[in-house]
Structure formats: structure tokens, C-alpha cells
Structure 1
């Protein structure tokens, strides 16, 4: 349904905007009303419409063809982050080709002197480098590499020096003409192109200081283990950022050492980077540092005790020091713990526990079969403040702790063993005023029909959102929905449906007809539809919903306004909300 509305809105706006004046910088777009009365549409409305399509590149490319004003604003959105989430061999290479056309004759001559054949490209009308706000450095280097292969041919593989020199010429042009990066990302994954990233040095680019001066978000994640070359390269980057800006709001550092007690200079460099900023709101780090430098890192985090809102730690160590930090953070509302890559977490916290309750409102915990003592301690000292709890680890001990200490939780996302369902129903569903509940179960025997029946009866009246991430047949889903006694679900999310989608949607529609509360169904991409683009998947979802509606044509006053959308995979993490990228891609 959303797809149809979008087409209608796009069609009428395209008609209205055909008569806009050529001066597209005007704040108002003017068109002629049928009664020849002048009317005005604010540009802000168009911008807001296009912003809703920012993740739908196919739709944005269509918007470019409408008229000049649509083209300008659609291009601005598309070129804000040209190297993010793209296939460097296809779209990244095209982006570099466009940037090549923006180079001056002198800059092109430098490439020619390096033996590169420059295609005959006209200077573009738009200033593409001036639109860039989010710079994915590794994506940029990979795109340069792909463009060089395309130009030189697969038989003549570009060497690292040529990649470095070409990237520097283009990168310096981007830095010079950019109004300032808002985001900088160094997301180094394991790659098949084997580019020697130790030679690629953003910190040496002319103009990089000005480009980094407005930086608000910095993400650094590398799958490479620290060595002499990488350490030298990384420290230069961290130092350049430290000296270029004081306005970072969000920072994530995720790196790996073979031995935590080596390359201690990295620990100091990252501590200096964190301390150099004025008011960090979000910090995400993995426990890369030497134990002897724990106080160094925790003190740097403590420096932002008044501004810090989100803290994520991957790997636990030196918990007494951590508790001191948590006890001092005045505005910390979102806390996340994830197990170490090497599974070497140290849960010992002695008797040093904050005497006052934490102000944490949202707790995310990604451990599986480890000790729950630390988790129970965090729950106990969060007390009445805790509103959201999302955990991969959830057993009777944790259930009891929540019942006794955290009565105000309204959002729960947990991995629940079927054997613990009865206790879960009795101790939590009967006491908490849950608004949002998502249940994932381990691989193995699914919930039985009787267990689903008991769960349906136990769902509290306050529950508006229910997510299912476990194996359930469409007949069992229908049985479950029909026996919900108190809850009036408004959103139903189905995460593990791989076939018979129409049958599942028919059950959802029947529930919407009977209870008159459901207004949205969410389906996660699974198996055969996992490769669809966002726009393709939206179209497919709406097709499935229309097929499911056919069963009810002429029989019921069915809910025509029932929406369908994509359910994102459950991650038990808040990181993607803050940093817009999945950290799971970088874990081992």
C-alpha cells in the first residue's frame, strides 16, 4: 500500500513542479492552480519526501529524471555517501569515474603521468565532491582499485603504489571541495582484493584537516591484527582526527591484537582521541587494550561522564573500574555488553558494586552460556529505571531477578528456552506492563501448540508489538492469534517465515478483522528473498498482502489500511541504530 501511495505522490508532485522557476535555489516552488491562483510548495516538503527514499537508490535514480529541482536534491542524497554499502566493482567504479571527471586538467595530467589512460569525460554540471558528507575510506580505496582494473584490464593488475597515488589525487580533490565530512568510516573487512592498506594514508592528504573539522561520527573497525605497519598507520589517523576536530559525538573503535599486551602505544593513541573530544554522546569499543592500561581507557570514557548517552563494550575486563565509570555517568541511558571475540571475558567484579542505582533505561546483553552473576548485578542496580531489556542470555535466574528488581520494563527481546516458558509466563508476563515483546528460541524443538496457547493467554493487555523469531507453522500461528485473550496487538513481526507467506498473512488479516487492532505486519527477508533490494522487497511484500486479501473479498469488512513492511533481523544490539552499520560483519 505504501508503494502505491508513493507512486501517487510522486506523480502529482512531478506535475506541480513542472512549472517551477529555473532559479531552483528559491525557497519556494511555484505552480499555477487550476483557477490561475498562484500557489506555493515549500522546498522543505520535497526534501522531506526524498529523504524518506534515502535508502532506496532505485527510486532516487528515478527521481533524477523528473525535472531539474528533483534532480538536484536526489543527487545530493545519492552522493552524500557514495562508497557506503555499494559493490565497489560496479557502483564504486562508476563513482570514481564521476570523480575523475571533476578533476582539474593538472590533476588529470598527474594520473596520465602515472600511465593511466583518462577517458574523455566532460566536466559535470553538478559539484559531486561538494555533496559528500559520509566518507567510507576503505570503500573509497576499494572503488579506486576496481576503477583501475576496469581501465587497465584484468591482465594488468594495478600495484599498491599506483592505487595509493590515484586515491590520493582523487581524495585530495574531495577533501578540498567538500564542505566538511560529518562521518568518517574505516571499515576494513576481510577482502579478496588484498589491497595493502598500510600504504593508504588518509592523514597525508592535503586538505584533510579542513575536511575533518566538522566530523561528528567516526567508525573504525578492522579485521586485520595489529602489527608494526598497521599500528603506525592507525596511530597517524587517530592523531590527525584528534588534532582536527573537537566535535565528535559518536565514536566506535574495534581492532584486534594477537596479544593484548603488545602495541600499547595504540592504547594511548585511542585514549588521547577519546579525551580530545568535547562532548561524546556514544562510545563503542572492544577490549583491545592491555590490562595495565585499563585505567587509561576507562578514565578517557569517564571524561565524558556528563554527555555520554550510549556505551557499548565488547569484551569484559577490570569490572571494578567499569563500575566506577557507570556510577559516575549522569546521563548514560543505553548500556550494551557483548562477549569478546576471543571469549576471554573476565566476569570478576569483587565486592565493588555501586551503592546508588544506575540511570540505565535500556540494557543490551549479547552473551549466551556464560555466568549470569554480572548480568544479575547490572539488573539489580538498574532497578526501577530499566525500560528495555534485550538479551541473548535468559534463564530462570535472570527471570527471577527481573521480577524482583525491574518492574518497569516495557520492552523485552529475549532468547527463551521452551522449557522456561511456563516460568516466564508466571513471573514476567503476569507482572510486567509490556508494550513490546519479541521472543527468539534456540534451534531445536519448537514451541508446542499447547505452549503457544498458554503464551497467547498470558500476553498482557499492554502488549502492542509482538515479534516471533522461532519456527511456527501457519496453522499454529492462526491458533495462537485466535486465542489471544487480553492483548490488542497493533504490530506483528514474523522473523522466521520461509514459505507459505500468503497463508501466514491470511492469519494476520483474520486477527485484524476479529480484534480490529492490528495495523501492521512485518516480515523478515529469509532464504529466497534475501537478495532482493529494499524496493524489490517492498513490492514483493505488497504483492503477498494483496494475494492474502483475496480470501476475504466480499466476505468481511477487512482492514484495507493494514500495512506490511520489512522486519529487520534481531541483533540484540543498539549499535546499528547509532552507527548505521552492522558490527557483526567484523567479528570472528
Structure 2
């Protein structure tokens, strides 16, 4: 039946598996129609798939051979496309070697839509290792193919480079090959959706990276010479055509000087005006470091403001010393929907207070960072009437300052996900303030998660009462023991997931009352480090949630449940899951 599906249907199905290379490779062997539709997803980001294990010790010589073969196919495709188009690679004196570069089955280069330049550079470096490996050199046809590729790419005989030692020491040759590949690539990709430059950080990842790849991170290695060409790719012929419709841009400052980096961003802003998502890693982590050159924030501001449909912006590892970036975002407030800040710090809260003016935000996430002030308060939800997701995770001291001048609404009816985790820096006053705001202004929560210093359950009761449609609750209490019997008087008829971490105390009778009046579809319960949960509590769960509960986990509990009750719980859950599976199969 699947073999009779039209190509459009197959393509739509395969799009859901676009990141599953194993399934896509399996589809290649079904028939030609499946192969044609699967190949375009495999080659959408080929070097990402080839180097998926690059940051782990699991990347071995076997993976090097696979990367080398893929890169060789890629280079052969570039050469073939250039020859048939009548490009400058066509040369009568060199064409005798070209037949060895056989035509590919597909125009693989034409399928590329996502390109990480550092992955491409690493793939070229791996191909260079691969073609001079002892196994490769033992195959006469492979050696002839290598020599033909070199001859076509660099327009010179390659016999002098038969020795790996000579090739390693010739930096000019490495640069020439890289420039030639990049030039052909920019000339042949019809449209690039995502461009990224996210190099491996040797200071952080060198210890965990594969032993076979460490050679590329050493000073003077091929890889370092190759990646120096990344910044100049924007000036290659037809780069403006290839990049004109860029939708995503991801970059991490590394290896390049500030002036070159800032100029690249300015040049990109003149070519690309339709970027929807920008992820920018400043690669600075410490407040005590000297304020970075303002050229980068100024250039990033220009890039942001030049985009007519910027939807998402993510900033990483940055110390804000100026207003530039946030002002740029403020000028895109009409289109910006998602803002994510990871390890973004500031000595002056004024540099980030204008976030309150991003009135169309639907998602605001803030991970880590140091605001440098003990008087910081959470941004009021009433600044963002369209906000659906709000997350703060380990921000010191608590959150971002409130800007009352940016007040837009007196409620936040759209908020569905609230996550507030302060695992290291507890402040009861700030926790109370932000939870009270949720209870007062947000009435449609679906997901509530809090790991902070909660001194009273009254605020939690306010939240649960004002949001009767809650489906997922995760609350953590590691500091003081709190009784939550009052919370169990609230009706939550749609609760599906409940996780209680820490010392929450409640009676079995109150638990029974809550489950009886709410009758929630509570399928998952997780309890950890609880000091009150005993056999009567488990008995209530099994009776009230029979035919509903599918997952029950207890972790590091203070009181051990009896063997009989644990066996009974396991049997009931397994029987229910078996019956449900049987019913599905019968249908």
C-alpha cells in the first residue's frame, strides 16, 4: 500500500523523519520513488548527519571513512555540475582526468538547505585524512580518482602530494582546495535556508571530543586553515543569490577578530532581509571581564533591524554593556514572538529593561546569568498579553526589572506554560511575588513548574484555583516541609501529570477527596524524597486511578512501601497497559 502512495504524500511523511538518518537510509532501499523522496532529506544537511558524533568519544575511524566517502561524493557532484554548466573548471588539457569523476546519481548539492560551515570544514579535513589513509592508497582506482579530483580542483598535478607529509605541510594547497570548494558550492546551491557557524570550543569540549578528531583542533592543523575561509564565503560569486532567502542564522564568535566578524554581520544584513530566527553566541561568560568591543553589538543591531519578519532571537553567553541588541529587538517588536537568553548577564539592569516593550512576545525564556543587583524583580506578565510560555531558570538574583512604562494589559490570558526554577539562588520574596502574579493575572495555565523557596502553600492554591485547566504540575521543595492538604481541595479535572519533589506532606484521606471530586485523567505520578507517602496513599491511587494510571515512579523515598503494595501497583498498571494495547490492535 505504501508503495502506491504518490510522491507528494511520501515527501510529507518523510518530513517528520527529517532528523532520523537511519530511517531515511532504510527508505533508500525500498524502491526508486522512496529513494528519490528520501534522498532530498538526507542531503538537506548531509555534514550534520555525517558528524553527528563529533562531540563524543564514539566517533571512530569507521565514521571517518563514512564522512570521507560522503565528502568525496559531494566534491564529485560539484565538479560534475561545473563541467556540464560550462564553468571555468572545463579545460581541454585537464578534461582527460575528468571521466574518472563519474556523474552522480542525483544532483546532491541541489538538495542542501542547511549548512554549518564548520561542519563542512571538518568534513573536508576528514576527507583529506581519508584519501591519504593506507587503506585508500592500496586501491589504485581510488588513488586515480583522488588525483583526478586534485587535478581538476587546483589545476595542477597531484603526484607531488601523494605523500601525506607533503600535503600536511602545504597550507596554501589546503586553502586553495577550500576556496575552490566554497566557490563551487555558493555557485550551485539554489537556495539556502539555514546558515550556521558554530565551531567546537576547544576550551570546553576538547576533553570529551573523539580522539580521532582532536588532530583537527591542534594548532596548525588543516581544519584551522580551512575555517579561516568561513568569513569570506559571503563575498564569493553568487553568494548573494544563495543567501538571499536565508530563514535561520546561527553563529558563535570564534577564531576571528572583532572587526572581521562585525563586517560579516553588516554584509549579511545587506543580503538577507527575511531571516526568521537568529541564534547568536557571544562566547563570553564572565562579568569581571573587560567590556567587549561595541562593534559586534552595533553590527548585530543592524542585522536585527534589517529583518522584516524576525520571529525568534536567541542570545547566548553574553555580558551586556550597551543598549544596542535590545534596542534592535525593540525595533522588531511587531514581528518578534520568541526571545531566549542563555547565560546573559549585565551590570546595569537598564540594558535589558526594554524587554518589556516586546509586547508581541509569545515565548520568553531566561537561563542562567547574573543581573548584578539584589533588587531585581520579575518582569510583570501584564507587559505581554500574548505570552504563552514563560521560563526562568537559575537567574541571579531572580529575574528582570519591571518597566511600568511598558504596561500593555492588566492580565495575561494566553499564558499556558510557567516554569520558574531557582535551584541555586533562593529568594522567598521574589518567589512569592512572581507566583502571586501568576495567580492574579494568568487564568489558562496548562503547565506549572516551580523549584524555588516557597514559604506558604496559599500562593500555590491561588494559582491552582485560578487555572482549573492545569494538565501538568511539577513542584519542588528542598528546604522546608510544607503541608499541602489545602491544595487537595482544589478541583483539577484535566490533570495528567503530577510530580512532587521534596518534603510535601498530605493525608491519604485528602488525596482520596481530591481524586474523587476531580476525577482527573492522571496517567503519570512521580514522587521523590517524600517523607509522608505510605501504603494507604498508594492504595488510594490504585483505587481512584484504576484504568487511568500508566506510570508511577518513587525515587529516594524516606518510607519504604510494602512489597505487597508495590507488587499490586505493578500488576494493575501492567494489566491496564496490556488491555489498552489489545484494544488498539483489535481496532
Q: Secondary structure at the match of 1:145?
A: helix
1:365 aligns with 2:396: no
Aligned partners of 1:513 and 1:559 also within 8 Å: no
1:390 shift after superposition? 1.4
Structure 1: distance between partners of 2:381 and 2:121: 50
Among residues 151, 159, 180, which one is paired with 2:191 in the alignment?
Answer: 180
Q: What corresponds to 2:105 in structure 1?
A: 125
Structure 2: distance between partners of 1:94 and 1:521: 45
1:282 shift after superposition? 1.4
Aligned partners of 1:411 and 1:437 also within 8 Å: yes
Q: Which runs of 5+ in 2 are unaligned?
A: 135-163, 203-213, 218-222, 504-509, 529-537, 554-569
Structure 2: distance between partners of 1:106 and 1:42: 29
Distance 1:399 1:131, change over 3 A: same
CA-to-aligned-CA distance 1:31-79 (integer Å, 9 cap, x gap): xxxxxxxxxx443322222222223221111111111110011111111
Structure 1: distance between partners of 2:191 and 2:283: 30
Structure 1: distance between partners of 2:272 and 2:182: 19
Among residues 181, 192, 203, which one is paired with 2:234 in the alignment?
Answer: 203
1:215 shift after superposition? 0.2
Among residues 13, 16, 20, which one is paired with 1:56 in the alignment?
Answer: 20
Aligned partners of 1:413 and 1:439 also within 8 Å: yes
Q: What corresponds to 2:362 in structure 1?
A: 333
Structure 1: distance between partners of 2:72 and 2:183: 16
1:205 shift after superposition? 3.2
Among residues 315, 333, 336, which one is paired with 1:305 in the alignment?
Answer: 333
CA-to-aligned-CA distance 1:307-326 (integer Å, 9 cap, x gap): 11112234244444544452
The count of aligned residue pairs is: 467
Q: What corresponds to 2:250 in structure 1?
A: 219
1:349 shift after superposition? 6.8
1:516 shift after superposition? 4.2
CA-to-aligned-CA distance 1:554-588 (integer Å, 9 cap, x gap): x998322799xxxxxxxxxxxxxxxxxxxxxxxxx
Q: Secondary structure at the match of 2:70?
A: helix
Q: What corresponds to 2:579 in structure 1?
A: 558
What are the within-5 Å matches in structure 2 for residues 139-154 of structure 1? Answer: 139-153=119-133
Say what the alpha-carbon RMSD is for the aligned residues. Answer: 4.8
Distance 1:395 1:560, change over 3 A: farther
What are the within-5 Å matches in structure 2 for residues 51-450 of structure 1? Answer: 51-84=15-48, 86-87=52-53, 90=63, 91-104=66-79, 122-153=102-133, 156=165, 158=168, 161-191=172-202, 192=214, 193-194=216-217, 195-196=223-224, 197-201=227-231, 202-222=233-253, 224=254, 229-257=256-284, 259=289, 261-286=291-316, 288=318, 291=321, 293-294=322-323, 296-314=324-342, 315-317=344-346, 318-320=348-350, 322-327=352-357, 329-340=358-369, 343=370, 345-346=372-373, 357-361=383-387, 362-368=389-395, 370-371=397-398, 374=401, 384-385=411-412, 386-393=415-422, 396-397=428-429, 398-399=431-432, 401-404=434-437, 405-416=440-451, 422=457, 425-439=460-474, 441=476
Structure 2: distance between partners of 1:559 and 1:413: 29
Among residues 521, 527, 532, which one is paired with 1:489 in the alignment?
Answer: 521
1:43 aligns with 2:30: no
TM-score, normalized by length of structure 1? 0.65
Out of 171-180 and 312-321, give the one that drifted further: 312-321
Q: Secondary structure at the match of 2:48?
A: coil
1:216 shift after superposition? 0.8
Structure 1: distance between partners of 2:110 and 2:334: 35
Q: Secondary structure at the match of 1:55?
A: coil
Aligned partners of 1:251 and 1:284 also within 8 Å: yes
Aligned partners of 2:250 and 2:280 also within 8 Å: yes
Q: Secondary structure at the match of 1:188?
A: coil
Q: Which runs of 5+ in 1 are unaligned?
A: 1-11, 18-40, 473-478, 497-506, 524-547, 564-588
Structure 2: distance between partners of 1:378 and 1:254: 30
Aligned partners of 1:465 and 1:490 also within 8 Å: yes
CA-to-aligned-CA distance 1:215-262 (integer Å, 9 cap, x gap): 01111124x4xx7x4324423431332121111111121113574534
Structure 1: distance between partners of 2:512 and 2:185: 55
Out of 126-135 and 302-311, give the one that drifted further: 302-311
Q: Secondary structure at the match of 1:284?
A: strand
Structure 1: distance between partners of 2:454 and 2:436: 18
Distance 1:458 1:425, change over 3 A: farther
1:132 shift after superposition? 0.7
Q: What corresponds to 2:208 in structure 1?
A: none
Aligned partners of 2:248 and 2:278 also within 8 Å: yes
Structure 1: distance between partners of 2:577 and 2:381: 59
Distance 1:142 1:550, change over 3 A: farther
TM-score, normalized by length of structure 2? 0.65
Q: Secondary structure at the match of 1:311?
A: strand
The structure having more radius of gyration, on CA atoms, is 2
Distance 1:354 1:59, change over 3 A: closer
Distance 1:204 1:287, change over 3 A: same
Out of 246-255 and 485-494, give the one that drifted further: 485-494
Aligned partners of 2:113 and 2:194 also within 8 Å: yes
1:494 shift after superposition? 6.7
CA-to-aligned-CA distance 1:274-303 (integer Å, 9 cap, x gap): 122222111222474663x32x32322122
Q: Say which structure, 1 or 2, has more relative contact order (CA 8 Å, 6+ apart).
A: 1
